[in-house]
Amino acid sequence: MATILRGKDILRADHLTLDEIETIMVTAVRFENAMRAGDRLSNMAGKILATLFYEPSTRTRLSFESAMLRLGGQVISVADAKGASSAAKGETLYDTGKMIEGYADVAVVRHPIAGSAAELAEGAAIPVINGGDGAGQHPTQALLDLYTIRKEKGRAEDLTVALVGDLKNGRTVHSLSMLLANFGTHFYFVAPTALAMPPEITADLRRRGIEIVETADLREAAARSDVLYMTRIQKERFTDPAEYERLRGSYVLDKALLSLAKPGITAMHPLPRVDEIAREVDSVEGAAYFRQANNGVVVRMALLTLVTE
């Protein structure tokens, strides 16, 4: 195994070099092949993963825990970190990091405030992985998204990808756009004006020479894209419920819309979905979102191994 990522905190997609990204992808493929062959894996035997989730999660938490167990390691966690950890007594994330380093070899944290994973990492000497920090970043989701795009399309280079929905608050699209920029992706950013991609991200991508079309027209984007990446309107980030009601359901992918899309288009979604993709799409060949969620296990097996080896 390569040692390029040893000891590294995984906090933001734009902190990963191309070499590091390739190492994670290659290692994930190796784990996928090993699992398919029924090999017994023990890369993490004797090691402990701590999961601290201050916000709800199904996929990120379970796939990290599954990854650790499949690698022969063990998991400790706080069932509801917000209510049941000492955060409820006022403990800082920095201090929590100081504690965790004595209990585990690697930690995954999810938190409602952007920058919180970095605060925990500052206190902890062990590698800390950001499992989603508010409307900030979700780098491991972006890595499994990249892995999925490579599997579904056979390549990452020279693709047109439409990111659709709540681009303002959606941490998955923040991280994914930064990661795909390494591969020269052409983007459609499809969102209502109120939920547009943060201008600092768009400006940074353009500075790197990335071609971006910002539009509210999903049909145009679907007709020209190789990948349609739908996202949920992030209800929990709205301070005004009426504004959420106005914007929910802005974009729905159904079979009628798919009939107008570029032939062979791949539909992705980080999940959970609310009403952004009709169930009738699930049986379509290009509907990759459940395969995408499953890919999270091997990508997270790769990450846990690489940062702790």
Does position 47 interact with ligand CP (CB under 6 A)? The reply is no
CB atoms within 10 A of CB 224: 15
* From 23, 27, 60, 160, residue interacting with ligand CP (rule: CB under 6 A): 60
Q: Does 270 bind ligand CP (CB under 6 A)?
A: yes
Rounded Cα–Cα distance for residues 244 and 254 (Å): 22
**Residue 138 or 168 having the CB closest to ligand CP:** 138
Of 151 and 224, CB closest to ligand CP:
151
Determine which residue in the list 73, 97, 127, 132 makes contact with ligand CP, applying CB under 6 A.
Answer: 132
Indicate which residue of 110, 174, 232, 300 is catalytic.
110
Q: Least CB distance from residue 59 to ligand CP, whole Å?
A: 4
Yes or no: say if 277 and 249 are a contact pair by the CB < 8 Å rule.
Answer: no
What are the phi and psi torsion angles at 47 (to 5°)?
A: -110, 155
* CA dihedral over 89, 94, 95, 96, signed as positive or negative: positive
Give me the helices (H) in 71-181, please. Answer: 81-84, 93-100, 116-123, 139-153, 171-180
Residues 7 to 36: which contact ligand CP by CB under 6 A?
none
Size of the site for ligand CP (CB under 6 A): 9
The HSE-up count of residue 146 (CA atoms within 13 Å, CB side) is 31
Find the binder of ligand CP among 25, 41, 57, 215 (CB under 6 A). Answer: 57
- Determine if 148 is a binding residue for ligand CP (CB under 6 A): no
Give yes or no: 110 in active site.
Answer: yes
Which is the catalytic residue, given 47, 59, 174, 269?
59
Catalytic residue among 27, 51, 60, 305: 60
Catalytic residue flag (residue 59): yes
Contact between 92 and ligand CP per CB under 6 A: no
The nearest distance, CB 65 to ligand CP, in angstroms, is 11
Rounded to the nearest whole angstrom, what is the least distance from the CB of residue 272 to ligand CP in the complex?
6
Asked whether position 66 contacts ligand CP by CB under 6 A, the answer is: no
Does residue 74 bind ligand CP (CB under 6 A)? no
Give the separation between CA 291 and CA 268, rounded to whole angstroms. 9
* 231 is an interface residue for ligand CP by CB under 6 A: no
CA-based R_g, the chain, Å? 19
Task: Tell the smallest beta-carbon distance from residue 136 to ligand CP (Å).
Answer: 13
Q: What are the residues binding ligand CP (CB under 6 A)?
A: 57-60, 132, 141, 270-272
